[in-house]
Structure 1
Amino acid sequence: MADDSSNIDVLNSTAQSQLKSIIERVERLEVEKAEVAEQIKEVMAEAKGNGFDTKILRKVIRLRKQDRATRQEEEAILDLYLSALGEI
């Protein structure tokens, strides 16, 4: 940065305060996101230890996020494509 003291003058104190608040909130959320990711990793390790296929578990979770109509449409298109390729 060129001259930090002149750049600070560009933002008024309210804007500076808002900017600081936004950055701190995002930083806290990034920490929480990392913690949640670690917890998910631990649960998946537990599932794997119990004999479950984690790749399939992730697919089931992804599918459950979709509404039924969207999921059925994707499955129909997948079946169509596989059939066209002689895979079914």
Structure 2
Amino acid sequence: MSDNATAADDRLRLLIERIERLEEEKKGIADDIRDVYMEAKAVGYDPKIMRQIVRLRKMKPDDRSEQDMLLETYKAALGMA
């Protein structure tokens, strides 16, 4: 094998190993988040609603307003308002 091929192989191996480490960290973080939701549920909070709040807080205010407006429009069209 040439030096270029060996260097490319090493680079690929390092990138794959880095991805694998990050995937493990991601799994650990996901487990921690699940534990927090379970803790919240144990003290009486609704995890489903908490997830919605987290999702809404991630949104830009304009996007959130637009979504709220569309939701109200759809609810009105269905006689739910």
Q: TM-score normalised to the size of structure 1?
A: 0.86
Q: Distance in 1 between matches of 2:7 and 2:66?
A: 50
Write 1 or 2 for the structure with the bigger share of helix. Answer: 2
- Corresponding residue for residue 74 of structure 1: 67
Who is 1:12 aligned against? Answer: 5
Moved more, 11-20 or 42-51: 11-20
How far off its partner does 1:86 sit?
Answer: 0.7
Higher relative contact order (CA 8 A, sep 6+): 2
Partner residue of 1:50 out of 43, 53, 56: 43
- Point out where structure 2 has 5 or more consecutive residues left out of the alignment: none
How far the C-alpha of 1:14 sits from its partner, in A, is 1.3
Q: Which residue of 2 aligns with 1:5?
A: none
Q: Within 2, Cα distance between the matches of 1:55 and 1:22?
A: 36
Cα deviation 1:1-42 (Å, max 9, x = unaligned): xxxxxxx77x70111011001100010011001100110011
| Two-structure CA RMSD over aligned residues (Å) | 1.4
TM-score by length of 2: 0.93
SS in 1 for 2:49: helix
- One-letter amino acid matched to 2:28: E
